[in-house]
Structure 1
Amino acid sequence: MKTLNLPFDSILPEEIINYAGHLILTTKKESPKKCEKALLYEDIFENHPTVIKGLMMQKLNLDYLEKDLILGIDPGKRIGLSIFYYGKEIESIFHSSVENLISHVICVLGGLRAKRKIVKIGNGNMHIAKQISTMLNLKFCSSYELEFVDERKTSLKIKNFNQRGKRDMLSAKYISQRDGFRYSILPLSITG
């Protein structure tokens, strides 16, 4: 929980039923047979921290109108990634290689349920953008929507040039909020 930067209370198993919080993390052995509260079990920690945040949002059944999973990608030397789920940004990070980015994107796309899964890639470096879309299509075995987005004016001028990839992550965030021409990508297992 500390890794996720989330506040939490530590309680005993017999206090679960009367606990005033919204979400309880426990073991299957210690969980009460009947409980009105949303429960998650310790096996959730086998997932990536971003997927854990998303699973918590799912469990809390947040009533956002937007139940989409949107990934904004800023291709370049450092590849910015911004992930929005239930209308909130749950991760902002950068990767130094396409392979690392693809394995992370697949982990998130495969780990979270969504009405629509949309991957938006900036068109600033089409060579890397095409490489990302091709690798994702080859390695991710489920359908998603793909957009190439005009990324003009997404790079802000930040002091100290690009400190720890901040500009790439901000660009990815802006890319995730823009619209482009949308393609529906079906997995190769369906299309052959």
Structure 2
Amino acid sequence: MSFDSILPEDISGYSGHLIFTTKKESPKKCKKLILHEDIFEHHSTVIRGIMIQKLNLDFEDEILILGIDPGQRIGLSVFYYGQEIESSFHLSVEDLIFHIIQILSGLRAKRKIIKIGNGNMEIAKKIVSMLNLNFCSSFELEFVDESRTSLKIKNFNQRGKRDMLSAKYISQRNGFRHSILPLSITG
């Protein structure tokens, strides 16, 4: 990512789109989009999402979609405003749930949709159950057909590449959608 380094007194006249600075060095009035150092308390995926949201680059609707490929290695693909902001894999359901909760709670969206492949329903149901227990907000859930999402990749599954690609394809498919209300609301 390219960037310019400028002095605090040059912020108001800067021609760029986004400025990172400290609250102390931030001008009182400025028409530019300014993000302060406290944004770095968030996960890098949330930071990317906040930047896309603040820049408002005329992307699609304010929708957050998480595609999950359940299995021995769990692939995850995150789309926000129509842009993929993360592609990763996780080795445990617990690690995945903690990570997903950071993303769901860190990014605001009109709709939060979690799409899970149906290839390993035991792990898929465990993911849904743990999310419902640990995330205190509603989200939409879809189980989607994950057939033909795993591509043949040389050297088998190099660093989880196949799982991440499968999660990306899953995030783009449709399945039967239903809303999940947190247990804190439903009891």
1:62 corresponds in structure 2 to 57
Q: In the aligned structure 2, how far is the partner of 1:75 from the partner of 1:9?
A: 41
From 1, 12, 16, the counterpart of 2:11 = 16
Quick one: which of 150, 153, 163 aligns to 2:148? 153
**Most deviating of 60-69 and 131-140:** 60-69
CA deviation vs aligned residue, 1:26-60 (integer Å, no higher than 9, x gap): 11111111111011110000000000001111111
User: What SS does the aligned partner of 1:113 have?
Assistant: coil
Give the whole-Å Cα distance in 2 for the aligned partners of 1:62 and 1:85.
12
Amino acid corresponding to residue 17 of structure 1 in structure 2: S
Q: What is the match of residue 175 of structure 2?
A: 180
Residue among 158, 161, 179 paired with 1:163: 158
TM-score normalised to the size of structure 1?
Answer: 0.96
Partner Cα separation in structure 1 for residue 2 and residue 77 of structure 2: 23
Partner of 2:72: 77
Q: Name the structure 2 match of 1:47.
A: 42
For 1:7 and 1:54, the matched residues in 2 are separated by 18
Residue number in structure 2 paired with 1:89: 84
TM-score by length of 2: 0.98
The answer for unaligned runs of 5 or more in structure 2 is none
Q: Residues 73-107 of structure 1, C-alpha deviation per residue, up to 9 Å, x if partnerless?
A: 00000000000001000000000000000000000
Query: Which letter does structure 2 place at the counterpart of 1:57?
Result: I
1:105-126 C-alpha deviation (Å, 9 max, x unpaired): 0000000001100000000000
Measure how far apart 1:8 and its partner are.
1.7
Query: Structure 2 counterpart of 1:107, which letter?
Result: Q
Report the counterpart of residue 135 of structure 2 in structure 1: 140
Which moves more between the two structures, 64-73 or 36-45?
64-73
**1:36 is the counterpart of 2:31:** yes
Where does residue 122 of structure 2 map in the other structure?
127
Give the residue type in structure 2 aligned to 1:130: K
* Residue of structure 2 equivalent to 1:113: 108
CA shift, 1:173, in A, is: 0.1
Q: Secondary structure at the match of 1:119?
A: strand
When the two chains are superposed, the root-mean-square deviation of aligned CA atoms in Å is 0.7
SS of the equivalent of 2:131 reads helix
Using the TM superposition, give the Cα deviation of residue 187 of structure 1 relative to its aligned residue in structure 2, in angstroms: 1.1
Opposite residue 37 of structure 1, the aligned amino acid is K
